[in-house]
Amino acid sequence: MGCAMWFPYGMTGAGLVSKQSMKRQKQYLALLAFALLSYSSAQTPQPQTSVAPATPATVSELQQMIEKGDPAGALKGLDLLAARNPAPAGVKLAQGKALYALNRLVDAEAAFAAALAQDPHDAEAAQMDGLSLFRLGRPKDAIPLLTGSQNWTGQTRFDPSYVLALCYLDTRRFDDARHAFAAQYGFPPDSASAYLLAARMLFRREYIPIAQQFAQKAIEINPQLPLAHSLLGEIALSGNHTDVAIAEFEKERASNPLEGGIYDRLGDAYSRAGDYQKALQALQQAVILEPNVTAPFILMGKVLLREQSPSSALMYLERAETMDPGNYMTHSLLGQAYRALGRKEDASRENHTAEAIQAASEPKLEKLQ
């Protein structure tokens, strides 16, 4: 609404006014200033903060605050609701979600456990409690919670079968892990596909001997299983058994000739074995099959630098940098290529970029919650 401007008697005239009139004018001015200030404050939008309202919102409304990225503000409102007697249904679960979003895992786990104690059939609380325990380094305690709640619900935000499988891996229950991974992908638990999938996950988490055993078992069940020999080659290459790796990659190429990644891995294996000509041939084939994949371009540059051909290496490395400018290795090799070509300023720039990327990717210590 508007504010009508008015003037007290005597302020619009040109002559002098009495002392009493001037006193009255000062009083009017003070009242007018107060009225205008009050009006301005009422109309000016106040900045939004995450302070909980004096009257707590509903659990559902506070849950929406968590989903929209304000778990701290939601937690204040949830604490007010939790203090009620009786507390509204679902408040402990929502508190756990807010605490989990704030990375306060110990407190989140306690809240999820309390929610589960109130309702033992709450699948979401069980899943989140299990996930919290896994992240707290307690996979053995997480297993019973995740075992009974592997089905997806309307609120599921992660695959409980996958986390359960990781818990089994960390407790050395490898066959159970295989069954859990198989359930995640819908494979029969003792099939060749289940063994190969489990082998891939085991290799990723550096359980090398058991990964090799599972991959070999997959080939025993199905000798034509795609990518089984490739995985055995990767496992061998990780242990610097280049001859074994090359043999496995060659077997994979024979049965799976259009898989570009095989040529990339084969080129890497030949390069490590010192056979640069075969490495270059395999990597050229990889580039032809997968022109939008960065890895073979980087490896080509690396091998060409070893072959004392920095100019040719530069062509592949610049292409790799265009596709993935944030790759540390690409910039490091570009620095080497520019230095070999006498381009010192370019070499210095690339080395600086590589160092910056590497520094940014180093893990940072986080404050314990």
DSSP 80-130: HHHTSSSPPTTHHHHHHHHHHHTT-HHHHHHHHHHHHHH-TT-HHHHHHHH
Say whether both 99 and 63 belong to one domain: yes
283 shares a domain with 261: yes
- Cα gap 213→289, rounded to integer Å: 31
The two structure tokens encoding residue 167 = 């818990």
Residue 122, domain member (yes or no):
yes
Q: How many domains does the chain have?
A: 3
Residue at 43 is within a domain? no
What CATH number does residue 314 fall under? 1.25.40.10
Residues 107 and 134 in one domain: yes
For residue 240, give the amino acid letter: N
Indicate whether 81 and 122 sit together in one domain: yes
349 within some domain: yes
- Measured in whole angstroms, the distance separating CA 240 from the mean position of its chain's CA atoms is 30
Write out the residue range of the structural domain in which residue 345 sits: 298-360
In a domain, 255, yes or no: yes
Same domain flag for 338 and 286: no
Residue showing tokens 């690396």: 302
Is residue 123 within 8 A of residue 153, CB to CB? The reply is yes
Exposed/middle/buried for 340, CB within 10 Å: 0-12, 13-18, 19+? middle
Is the residue at 128 inside a domain?
yes
Tell me the residue type at 76.
K
Tell me 17's DSSP state: -
The residue among 296, 360, 292 whose CA lies nearest residue 326 is 360
Last residue of a domain, one of 115, 139, 163: 139
Instruction: Judge if 60 and 128 occupy the same domain.
Output: yes
Q: Which two structure tokens, joined as six digits, stand for 16?
A: 């002098």
Rounded to an integer, what distance in angstroms lies between the CA atom of residue 88 and that of residue 251?
A: 63
Domain final residue, candidates 139, 164, 198: 139
Strand, coil or helix: 8: coil
Task: Look at residue 82 and tell me if it is in a domain.
Answer: yes
Spans of the chain, pLDDT less than 70: 1-56, 149-158, 363-369
Enter the tokens of residue 247. Answer: 């043999």
CA 294 to CA 306: how far, in whole Å?
19
Does residue 62 sit in the same domain as residue 134?
yes
In a domain, 193, yes or no: no
In terms of domains, do 68 and 113 share one?
yes
User: Could you say which of 139, 174, 190 is where a domain stops?
Assistant: 139
pLDDT for position 261: 93
User: How is residue 14 annotated by DSSP?
Assistant: S
Total Cβ atoms within 10 A of residue 345 = 8
Residue type, 233: G
Query: How far is the C-alpha of 139 from the C-alpha of 130, rounded, in Å?
Result: 8
- Residue 137 corresponds to which tokens in the numbers above? 């380094």
Mark whether 96 and 133 lie in a shared domain.
yes
> Is residue 119 in some structural domain?
yes
- For the residues of 271-333, what is the DSSP string, one character each? HHTT-HHHHHHHHHHHHHH-TT-HHHHHHHHHHHHHTT-HHHHHHHHHHHHHH-TT-HHHHHH
The reply to whether 354 and 329 lie within a common domain is yes
How far apart CA 250 and CA 278 sit, in angstroms, is 12
Question: Which of these, 287, 279, 284, 294, lies nearest to 329 by C-alpha position?
Answer: 294
What is the residue type of 45?
Answer: P
**Beta carbons of 59 and 78 less than 8 angstroms apart:** yes
Domain match, 262 and 305 both: no
What single-letter DSSP state applies at residue 191? S
